[in-house]
Amino acid sequence: MLLMPRDHSIHDTPTNAVEVRTEKLSKSFGSQAVLRSVDLEVGHGEIVAIVGASGSGKTVMLDCMLRLLEVTSGRVYAADHGKKGSPLIEITRAKERVLLRIRLHWAVVFQRNALFSGTVYDNIALLLREHQDLSEEEILRRARESLGACALDVDGVLYKDRDELSGGMAKRVAIARAIAIDPAVLFYDEPTTGLDPVVSGSIHELIWNMHNRPRGNGDQRTTVIVTHDKELLRRLSPRVVMLHKGEICYDGRYADFGESNCAPAQDYLREMPVLHGRSAGGEK
């Protein structure tokens, strides 16, 4: 099990390649502007945490990056790992086949895990069957390997039904499902919401370990996290991007977050534990 260094910074990761880039990204719902001309670049190998008060636009930002929402204006680019050299492709207007090719190298861990009914193995095997040319033996091997990497009792959980999982176990299964497809980029939406502090701490460590687990081709992964969890920021020391009123008011090291000239940052840091508690659903 890897130990998480407390002084990790964005300068420790390669920045010569870009995984996701937004240019003048804006999103409105009717007359309500949620994102206002946001420019953001996520480099290969980075851990980036997107933070901000409720209503600041961070989840909308993530959904636009994933093209789960259509943008009002601006552009989103993503590295196409299905092509040699992983060129940046504009996905805001990409055809479905191009978007699918790019998404095959992404994995998303949703706030509520998005596990469907059935067993743990069913959940992990589905995408592998649909999008990768693997034998059933290889799918089973991948499932067992990913569950083991997430510190789960493989034989005890593999054929357990979704509804039998505790909150912490379900989160680990969701991460195992994500890592099984060997993604280039891992996206997390509030990964510790509703979990108690002990379980949250184990998820912090798991996120760190999965980020640093090399891909099958030896490449480093990239991680993007939407979070209200101050302890996650303290332990992982990611690059922090703070949204305030739909705009980026801070982009830099966590170590400098509270000392920045972004006036809302200090207030937000004080409020983060309260916001994290409000977003919890009581799941243990």
**pLDDT tens per residue, range 15-40:** 459 999 999 999 999 999 999 999 99
Name the pTM for this structure: 0.88
Give domain limits for the chain.
13-103+230-276
In this prediction, residue 88 carries a pLDDT of 95
Cβ partners under 8 Å of residue 168, min gap 6: 195, 199, 202, 203, 284
Indicate the residue type of 51. V
Q: Six-digit token pair at 240?
A: 């922090």
Per-residue confidence band for 267, with pLDDT thresholds at 50, 70 and 90: confident
CA atoms of 172 and 151, how far apart (whole Å): 8
CA atoms of 118 and 141, how far apart (whole Å): 19
Per-residue confidence band for 11, with pLDDT thresholds at 50, 70 and 90: very low
Per-residue confidence band for 10, with pLDDT thresholds at 50, 70 and 90: very low
Q: If you classify domain 13-103+230-276 with CATH, what class do you get?
A: alpha beta
pLDDT digits (tens, 9 = 90+) for 73-124: 999 999 999 899 999 999 999 999 999 999 999 999 988 888 988 999 999 9
In this prediction, residue 283 carries a pLDDT of 39
CA atoms of 180 and 201, how far apart (whole Å): 22
